Structures are given as structure tokens and as C-alpha cells.
Structure 1
Amino acid sequence: MVQNAAYNIPGHFNPDNLQVTFRNKSDYEMRLAYWLFSMMGKPALVKAGGLATTWALRIGLPVKGLIRNTVYRHFCGGETVHEAKEVVQKLSSACVQTVLDYAAEAQDTEDGFDAVHDEVLRNIQLARSTEGLSCISVKLTGIGHNAILEKLHQGQKLSSDERKAFTQTAVRLDNICKAAAEAGVTVYIDAEESWLQRPIDELAEEMMRRYNKQRAVVFNTLQMYRTDRVAYLKSCLKHFKKEPVTLGIKIVRGAYIEKEQQRAREQGYPSPVFTKKEDTDRSFNKAIDLCLENLHRLELCAATHNEKSIKYLTERIQQDSISDHKQRIHFSQLYGMSDNLTFNLADAGYNTSKYLPYGEVATAMPYLLRRAEENTSIAGQMGRELALLQMEMHRRNL
């Protein structure tokens, strides 16, 4: 790694350095990755395979071992946090931090929400003694009811039971953020569909007011494929201007584009997301610009697999000589994806992490299937992954 120690300015980011990208991957892992990305390059196969897998798990067919040793092994840290810890340590040895993500979807009971809350709290305590485990990801839909979030977003009145349930959701989130503040851990609050997002934004802002006094403990996630997120970011910067708060802003492109567009068509309202990729790219880079202009009062996490956006941000860091970039600017990619970005960013001296999901195979399958479908829709993503794998396999004579 090359770095200017005097000014803490990182070295040159080279996403084509295969030795850095794959130096921690065995020959078996290379072959598995190549097979998986070959399959994921066929959207119809991904969709059919996802439906078949869900059906097989539901009726108890013995497919869990196959899933665990293929797609699960590549994209997840394991079924338990102790299995995930081995991956955390491996990433840490490459100077890559971990954002631990308990992949327990489809919870819809108070007991289920409490179980997720308790698991996240245990993970925060684990992070105290685990090098490289610095961040926790939290989905509000994992600790609270979708239907209540949707009613609040629409401005509908809640029943007394619903108010009580939402209060409990807020308490769970507060417990998590408070524990993270005390443990020196960062909390990334995930974004959801547009029709659930307003109460999530409000809760995230309240948590930032409570816990982001000295540093950004809590980050809110902005999906920049939404047409209103640049305006939302400007609004946040404006109304937090006189408050003693370090904003935590995580920017992503977005995860539900087809779902958002379909719902807008069916219900007859304007699509809340851009229809052209170029508009999303401009929105994402505009958010980078706004955050850099206000870097003295916020921390930025650029969670993206887009090489151009990453190069744009790394070049700005160098051009502007941002000496405290490791404290103020974070990069992140999904575990199992875009290793050429993650490991070469870390090698050049940037603050970089992997989003690492873990959880029991059956309960984590909705997460995996959504990720697989997202990745097949990213223009050029599978081709890029396969090309890099082919070059490295050729170099290794595999």
C-alpha cells in the first residue's frame, strides 16, 4: 500500500490490480465465484431458481446443504455470528472493515422483532472485542411492522395498539443506537420502499440528534435513484445547520427499482424513482458534492458498486487534500461482490468495508434472492465480475 504519511493522503486507487483483488481467494473459491456469476448473468434462471429454492425449503426438501456450500458460502458470513466472525477476521487482515447484517427478514410479530433487537445488541457487544467489526446494519422492518410504517408515511391515524407497537419499535432502535454509541460502533439504518420511508427518516434524524454529538454513530441511508433525495439531503443540511450534530449520510443507488415503478403504474402516481440510469448517476454524484461541501459537519458512506462514482470520490479526496478522509469518508460494497473495488480501495489507504449478512439459510433466503435479482439488473456488473475472474484464473492456470 502506498500512502503519503505526512498528509494522510491515500495512494492511487487501481481497481484492475488482480493480485490485490484475489490474493485471499483459494482456487476453489475462484471456481465457485465464476460458476455463480455465470448463473447470475441469466435473469430468467435466477428468478426460476429462486422460486424453486424457496419452494424446496418450504416443503422440507434436503437442499440446504447445497445452498449453504454454493450461493450462501459466497455471499454470506454463515448461519451464526460465530461463523461470520471468521470472515470478519479474514477481511480485517486485508484492512477491510465489516458491516454486520443480521439477515432475518419477514419478521411480523412483536416476539420476532424482539429477537432481532436482542441479536443486534449481542453483536454490538461482540464488536467491542472484535477487530474489524466496526458497523452494524439495521432494518426498521426487522424491528417494526411494515403496515404501521406505511400508515405513518401516508399520514394516517394509528389505533392505540398501533401507537403502542410503533413506540416499541422506536424504543428498540434507541436501545441499539445507545449501545452502539457506548461501544464505539456505527449503526447504518437501511432505507426501505418509498411508501415506508418518511417515518424511517424521522426516526433516523431523531437518533442522530441523540447520539451524533461527537461522531456519526447513526447513519441514515439515502437511495439516490429516488427523484426527491437530493432535495431531502439539502433539507437535512439546512435544518441541522445550527444543531450540534454530526450527520451520518449513507448514499446508495437503490434496491427496489422495478417494484417502485410497478406500484406507481398500478396506483396511478408519478414514479418516485428515475427511469434513466444517467439521472441516478448524476443524483449520486450530486450527493457526493453536497457532502464534501459540508464535510466539516457530517460523515459520508458511499455504498456503491459503481466504479465511476468511486473513482470520482477518490479523486476528489486527493484533489482537495482531505487529510481526515478515514474519519469522514467511508466506502462499502456487498460481501461477495466487487472485490476489485473493496480490496484495492483498502490497499490504497481508504476506509472501506464489506456488508456481511449472516443468518439461518431458510430465513436469509429472501435477502439472498433479492440481492441476486438486483445484481442481474446492474448493467455490465456480471460481465465485469466474470472478466476479472477469467483473467485471474488464466493467471493461475486454472
Structure 2
Amino acid sequence: MENATASPKLAGTFDPNNLQVTFCNKTDKEIKLAYWLFGMMGKPALVAAGGAAAQLALKLKLPVKGLIRNTIYKHFCGGETVQEAQQVVQKLAAARIQTVLDYAAEAQSTEAGFDMVRDEVLQNIIIGRETKSFSLISVKLTGIGSSNIFRKLHLRQELTPEEQADFARTQQRLDDICQAATEANITVYLDAEESWLQNPMDELAEEMMRRYNTKRAVVFNTLQMYRTDRIDYLKSCLRRFEGEPVIVGIKIVRGAYLEKEQLRAKQQGYPCPVFTRKSDTDKSFNQAIDICLEHLHRVEFCAATHNEQSTSYLTSRIQEDSIRPYRHRIHFSQLYGMSDNLTYNLAAAGYNASKYLPYGEVATALPYLIRRAEENTSIAGQMGRELSLLQQEIKRRKL
């Protein structure tokens, strides 16, 4: 079991309104682009129409790749290759911000596709080990295994012999990644997915923790706190590991599939698995923070949120004497291109802060980008907050 050692002294107070720190990495041109983009994303109908048009244009091989690459792609992605992304990684590192490298491959459907994603992730682990420029990666389980098989397992349906063999290969791919990450001193954040796929993913995450989280938290499972059952899951997960020499890795997020979850529950006539009121999700998220802090002697966790209130709440809790010896086990994360006022100011104040940095070919990353844009339009107050900060910075720079 890892020894609890004091983390570096915090450098200063977390101030999410410090514009000089927030935009220290942005050129005037990037500030103007961001302002235009967030202005566009404040219009949900435009986002929906633009996303559909972009996908169709790429499918028809129309010359729009350059336009996408130089606007929304440039703002939210690190590049088309891991080598391109490295430039952004170094820029973030200069501001003491870690990178969670995320290969933006949406759900695959063939064994060859799953192998390709595994190989890409393994290659990234080698790069991380050799360059020491990043030590965090993100893995989406539907990138290395069939969503149909995960759905059947979630429903406790019997797999055919062929499906059993396919799932065994999925388990092996994940094990290959976690083993390589352990040896390279890299941390693996396993993404959460739709509620109707998640149970076998939770089981896989716990299995990997049991194997690889004995000396440090190599594997983190992601909990979407807009789900009504996640507090119970977190408590039961901690009970299952009680007395074992395992550091439980937990990443908490609010959730990415709200409308999809509500619509499916309504169409199929089962109780909605997500909270319908934002205040309940906020309460659930902060409750998860409290539970993780209570068990910090055997938990390492990441609060991946764009919510300023939850971020400030956690920074205030970190000041408590009982938490101080384990402060190095608490991490914050935001998506690249969003909430720079949180990430940059957390890092400047001495907290463990990171950006989720997706990369991949424009066509491959487009579904990710559309999801980000749609997510932005549905986060209460997110557009207004981003635009307000950018407006202030434009004024401050006299642009």
C-alpha cells in the first residue's frame, strides 16, 4: 500500500476570476475564435443543424475539413496525431497543468477496430513513459469492446460462444492497457457510458483495480453523478474493497447523456435512471466528494467538473487538517477548450489540475466535437459564463 506523504504546499488562494491566469496561454486570435465559437454554441438549433451538416459534408467529401479543423476542432482538440497533441501537452505543462490524453475514437464495431484502438492506447503509454510529458490517459470501453455485448451483460443475458470469445478478447485488451500503464507509471481513467451498458463496465473496472491498484491508483472508474444510483454504488464499491490492499480510483462527473437517458426511459417505460432536477445532481456530486474525502486513506479521486461551486467546495475541504496528508490523492479535471478559469487558476494555486485533451483525425473526432457542442448548450449557465469571461478579457486586452 502506498505511503501517505504530504503534497507540495499550496501556492495561493483559488480565484476563478483571475483573468490574467485564466487566459495566459491564449493569443488574441484564439480569444476572438473562442468568443465567436461560444456565441454560436449558445444557439441549440444552430448547433444541431451545424453538426448534422458537418457530418454530411465530410461523408460527401466536400472541402469542409479545413474549416472544421481551424474552428471548433482547433478549440477542443489537440491535433490529428499524438505528435501534434504533444505541442498542446507541453503548453499546458508550462502552466503546471497535467494532460489526460484521450484518443477520440467513438464506439467501434469490429474486432479489428477494437485492436486498432488498443494499439493506439498502448503506443501512447510508450510515449508517456519515454517523454514523461503526460501521465494520464482516458479509455472508452466501447472503443475496445462491443457495446452490444456490454448491453447483454448488463441485462444478465446469456452470451453466445462467439460473444463469449469476443468479450474475453475485450477483457484481454483492457488488461494489456492496465498492465502497460502500471509498468510505465501512467494512470488510466475509464470513461463511463450509458446506463444500459454500465454494470459490466463497473465490474471490469473493479477487477482491474484489484489487480493493479495495490501500490498506487492505476485504474479509475468514472461515476456519472446525475444517475440516481451512483451514491449507493460508490458506498457498495468501498465496502467491497474494505480490508483489501487496494487504493480505489474514482473519477466523478455530472454526466454526459442526460437527454438520451431521459428519452430512452420514457420510450421503453422504465423509471428514469437520472435526476430530472439539476439541484439533485449537484447534491449527489458534492455528496460523492464527501464520501471520497472520508475514505481518503484508501481512495484516490478526481473531480472532473466545470461547476465552479463544486470546485470551490472541494478546494475549501482540502484545507482541513485531516485531509492535508492525503492532498496528493485529490485531482481536478476539465475538458480542453472549456472552463480555463477553473483549470488554470487551480494549477496556479498549487492543486492537481488537468485537461482532458482529445486528439484524432477530424472525421473521427467529429462525433466527439458535436457531443461537446451539444453538451455546452445544455449546461445551465455554461455559455454565459464562458462568454462573460471572454468579454472581460477582450476588454482587458483592448481588442
Q: Report the TM-score when normalising by structure 1.
A: 0.97
Mapped contact 2:293–2:323 kept (Cα < 8 A): no
| Structure 1 residue 327, shift from structure 2 partner | 2.3
| Cα separation, 2, equivalents of 1:52 and 1:6 | 49
Query: What does residue range 70-109 of structure 1 map to in structure 2 within 5 Å?
Result: 70-109=71-110
User: Structure 1, residues 202-242: CA drift from partner, whole Å, max 9, x if none?
Assistant: 00000000000011000000000000000000001111011
Amino acid at match of 1:127: G
Unaligned runs of 5+ in 2: 1-5
| Cα separation, 1, equivalents of 2:171 and 2:151 | 15
Aligned to 2:184: 183
**2:126 maps to 1:128:** no
| Structure 1 residue 321, shift from structure 2 partner | 5.6
- Report sequence identity in percent: 71
1:69/1:307 Cα in 2 relative to 1: closer, same or farther (>3 Å)? same
Aligned to 1:338: 339
Aligned to 2:138: 137
Aligned length: 394
Amino acid at match of 1:317: I
Mapped contact 2:318–2:327 kept (Cα < 8 A): no
Mapped contact 2:191–2:222 kept (Cα < 8 A): yes
| Structure 1 residue 339, shift from structure 2 partner | 0.2
Aligned to 2:239: 238
| Cα separation, 1, equivalents of 2:272 and 2:368 | 24
1:7/1:301 Cα in 2 relative to 1: closer, same or farther (>3 Å)? closer
| Structure 1 residue 324, shift from structure 2 partner | 4.0
Amino acid at match of 1:186: T
| Cα separation, 1, equivalents of 2:148 and 2:356 | 27
| Cα separation, 2, equivalents of 1:326 and 1:86 | 29
Mapped contact 1:89–1:131 kept (Cα < 8 A): no
| Structure 1 residue 318, shift from structure 2 partner | 0.8
| Cα separation, 1, equivalents of 2:18 and 2:326 | 23
Q: Which runs of 4+ in 1 moved over 3 A?
A: none
| Cα separation, 2, equivalents of 1:26 and 1:165 | 48
Mapped contact 1:11–1:348 kept (Cα < 8 A): yes
| Structure 1 residue 105, shift from structure 2 partner | 1.1
SS for the counterpart of 1:157 is: coil
| Structure 1 residue 10, shift from structure 2 partner | 5.0
**2:17 maps to 1:16:** yes
**2:73 maps to 1:35:** no
| Cα separation, 1, equivalents of 2:129 and 2:327 | 20
Mapped contact 1:191–1:223 kept (Cα < 8 A): yes
User: Structure 1, residues 104-133: CA drift from partner, whole Å, max 9, x if none?
Assistant: 114110000000000000000100133441
| Cα separation, 2, equivalents of 1:266 and 1:104 | 28
Amino acid at match of 2:363: A
| Structure 1 residue 18, shift from structure 2 partner | 0.3
1:325/1:349 Cα in 2 relative to 1: closer, same or farther (>3 Å)? farther
| Cα separation, 2, equivalents of 1:365 and 1:297 | 38
Query: What does residue range 1-398 of structure 1 map to in structure 2 within 5 Å?
Result: 8-9=9-10, 11-320=12-321, 322-398=323-399
| Structure 1 residue 325, shift from structure 2 partner | 4.7
User: Structure 1, residues 169-211: CA drift from partner, whole Å, max 9, x if none?
Assistant: 0000000000000000000000000000000000000000000
| Structure 1 residue 23, shift from structure 2 partner | 1.0
| Cα separation, 1, equivalents of 2:8 and 2:260 | 46
